[in-house]
Chain A
Amino acid sequence: MNQQKQAGTIKIQKENSMLKQKQMLAEHFMALSQVRETGKKVVYTFVPGNLTELIYTFDMLPVYPEINALQSGMRKKSHDYIREAEDLGYSEDVCSYVKCDIGMMLQGNIGPTGQKLPDPDILLLSYTGCFVFMKWFENLKQLYPNAEIAMLHIPYQEAGRIEPDAVNYIKKQLLSEVIPVFEKVSGTSFEEKVLAKKMDLSAQAEDLLIEVFDSAQQKPSPIDAYFGGVYYIGPIFTAFRGSESCVDYYRELVKDVDYRIQNKLGPLTPDGYLEQEQYRLVVEGPPNWTHFRNFWKIFYDQGAVFVGSSYTRVGGVYDDGFRHSPDDPLRSLAEYCLGCYTNRNLPQRIDLLERFIRRYHADGFLVNSIKSCNSFSAGQLVMMRDLEERLQIPVGFIETDLVDPRYYSYSNIKNRLDSFFQMLDQRHTVRVTDDWLSDDVLA
């Protein structure tokens, strides 16, 4: 553990897991920059319903345009990229990830590490939980006419359950559309046992991931399941699921979290461990990336910790027991894709949020509504009111955008959050028992 006590407070360096994450990502981007020499093939694909295990089965490298877009947002490049796309005719109203990504490609496709990203050999359109993905890839196809296209349509869980026909449909698509393209481009034949082995490793990492998320039951919570969730809990999952190093990473992370629990430490923020947990919140919606640190600071300055978030479930929901499985791995991949957060219907999404609120003993529920993301935003107001009625819990609502800095207004957000925190304070004083929300119902 790279921390040392100094004058009664913990002085932060970085936790071991963070150092490992940094190294893993650097190696990944290095591998991407060397594909000319190594001959490795590159697959562009999306986070929700990603087929990372399958991609690695063919020894190819994944690139996630959404992650590039959010990285561009964090590196203050997204404004230029979005403008470039808007100059090309993309409306101000549409998903800013798409515009940021297309703008980045038009300006040379320089990735987060400053190295040029390789062009895709395959555009794997695993279209899960968002219609925009389909449009996004139709547009990418124009930019990369030589890339092979593999389309995987994931039906929506409209009735709140996984239909057997949907699973069969996905399996058939994998066998008839996706795997043949992977075989053709990689020159490698598909071996189910190789995939099964990776699925087993995924399941191990998933157990550990849930252990980390569940640590938010502790008071104080040792993790922030939103900002920390997207910063160091979730990313490795998407890029490396199915590998030994992914399992190692989560083992390391569990150790770091255990250390915080033992020392009654709050989550690690850019300004050190959170010292006084004031508010425990559950949040729905993606974060803002262009002002990530400033946004996070508004919360940790007030002692607000996110003990649960829906956004960290876009790449897969493991809270209700699902794990990637080596038995019939293609079926398992299908079920994984179908279960991603935004592929669940609105009542299911509300139930999951209720579960987080109860399980992690949250004091309040917050919606961060993203201007350009209909997949999340449409219906959030209904979700918010429903949870307020069901649980009699204070609810808050703020608006930002993912990577379009024009829609981040510090004063607006701050004003709304101040009122929300006041509501929470009032609630604290009238609350009779601390355990007013029990998690008995989860049994």
Chain B
Amino acid sequence: METWMPETYDDAITQSRALFEDLTYTYPREWKAKADTRRLIGYLPIYIPREIIHALDMLPVGLFGAGDRLPVVRGDAFFQSYICHLPRTVIELALNGNLDDFDGFIFPSICDVIRNLSGIFRMKMGDRYVRYLDFPQNFNPEVGGTYYRSELERLIDDLSKLNGVVLTNSALNKAIHLYNRNRNLLQRLDSIRVDRPHVVSATDFYLIRRAGQILEVEECNRFWQRVIDLADSIVREPEDKIRVVVSGSFCEQPPLGLIKTIENAGCYIVEDDFQLGLNWFRHELPADTDDPLGVLVDAYLNHSPASSAVYTTEEARGKALLSQVQEQKADGVIFCAPSFCDPALLDRPALEQSMDQNHIKHFSFQYHENLGQFHVIKEQAGTFADMVKLWE
């Protein structure tokens, strides 16, 4: 089994890439084989409270489809051409047996496609645990909070039945502590790419971060700490590129080639929402309370980001994007959303308007996770970068 203590930065990227490309989920399967009580729980974008799963001796594994790494043979028979691509590769993985070692799947409420996909899983993977997790859109602790807590309690009960492990406060506190550290390390990695995007490229950052969707949290923390140390010592010259925020890719992921194309076209990506759930909370959660479940509930109600999955006003979402632009000293925004993605595409007009009002330059396009041709996007991104530089 891999050790997650790479010798060099390049080794770290190679390891991360191998993990990303492995659609047979070797790491989770090997992890599970180490103890009888261990279970694998797959989850779909965007956010789920992974702390609970970890505290029950289970590995939460992010399922983001298979991008351009798996030909879709059976998945197309499940979804019409005008439905986004992600559910096709998820179902393809399931039908091909790649998810056979998984014990359960959680579908967070983000859109109707994920919601109905949970029903398809109930029908096709009925011997596993399948759960659509409804996050409250009411943020009053007495109302939405009580409801969310009851949802989580039901989740805990159900998961416990899979391995007989009973959740304790101390295990959940410990998990909260570990995920606090995990988020903190991710923020540190993030600040390296913000401060020195010529050192940690967008694709590198993507791959490193993606490891956080699979590795056990302790292992991930050691790995990310190591990557930070290695990245700190890299010396490279910055290039003449503009700084951009990429918005709208929180669920179906753009192919790596697309991320690279944006960078090669002259744009450093200094903020994005590619794997938003990993960093859902930007501050430390209390990790030593008598009510750790209450901590997770409170965090969701009060500290969720202004994402497309959470009910808020378009104005709040516009402000959140604006502050990202300002904080990361970005020169512009690229709206980059999957085709047919209702949540991202319905938010776009208001966000564009908000950028216009604040004189932030932007352009937009749509993609599929298995897009293979990038020349049009390369041209658009290149023109955008040139235009921004011209107006600087």
Contacts and interface: CB of A to CB of B under 8 A. Distances in A.
Interface stretch (A15-23, A37-45, A130-138, A224-232): A130-138
Given A142-B315, A151-B137, A153-B311, A346 B116 contact: yes
Contacts, number: 161
Nearest to B122: A347
Interface residues of A, number: 50
B146 A379 contact: no
A365 to B, nearest CB: 17
Interface stretch (A70-78, A85-93, A213-221, A310-318): A85-93
Nearest to A132: B342
B37 interface: no
Contacts of B264: none
Contacts of B315: 142
Interface in A122-165: 127, 130-132, 134-136, 138-139, 141-142, 151, 153, 155-156, 158, 163, 165
A134 B314 CA distance: 11
A185 interface: no
A176 B122 contact: no
B346 A90 contact: yes
Given A89-B348, A165-B150, A346-B120, A173 B112 contact: no
Given A151-B311, A169-B144, A158 B340 contact: no
27 contacts: A94-B342, A95-B342, A127-B137, A127-B311, A130-B112, A134-B311, A136-B346, A138-B311, A138-B346, A139-B314, A139-B346, A142-B314, A151-B138, A168-B146, A169-B136, A169-B143, A176-B143, A347-B119, A347-B123, A374-B113, A374-B116, A378-B112, A378-B113, A378-B117, A379-B116, A379-B119, A381-B79
Interface in A40-98: 88-91, 93-95, 98
B138 A374 contact: no
Interface string B83-119: 1000100000000000000000000011111011111
B134 A155 contact: yes
B225 interface: no
B372 interface: no
A153 B117 CA distance: 21
Contact of B80 (A93, A131, A158, A380): A380
B346 A132 contact: yes
B147 interface: yes
B342 A135 contact: yes
Nearest to A166: B147
B77 interface: yes
A141 B137 CA distance: 16
A328 interface: no
B350 interface: yes
A369 interface: yes
Given A138-B347, A378-B115, 8 more contacts: A93-B82, A131-B109, A134-B137, A142-B350, A155-B147, A156-B109, A371-B82, A374-B83
Nearest to A127: B137
Contacts of B313: 138, 141-142
Interface of A: 88-91, 93-95, 98, 127, 130-132, 134-136, 138-139, 141-142, 151, 153, 155-156, 158, 163, 165-166, 168-169, 172-173, 176-177, 345-347, 349, 369, 371-372, 374-375, 377-382, 386, 399
B142 A172 contact: yes
A82 B220 CA distance: 47
A165 B349 contact: no
Nearest to A125: B311
B140 interface: yes
Contacts of B134: 155-156, 158
A372 B341 CA distance: 10
8 smallest CB-CB distances across A and B, nearest first, come from: A346-B119, A89-B349, A158-B132, A135-B346, A169-B147, A379-B116, A153-B137, A378-B116
Interface centre among B79, B87, B131 (most CB of A within 10 A): B79
Contacts of B116: 346, 374-375, 378-379
Contact of B314 (A89, A138, A163): A138
B28 to A, nearest CB: 24
A93 B119 contact: no
Interface centre among A151, A346, A399 (most CB of B within 10 A): A346
B123 A386 contact: yes
B319 to A, nearest CB: 13
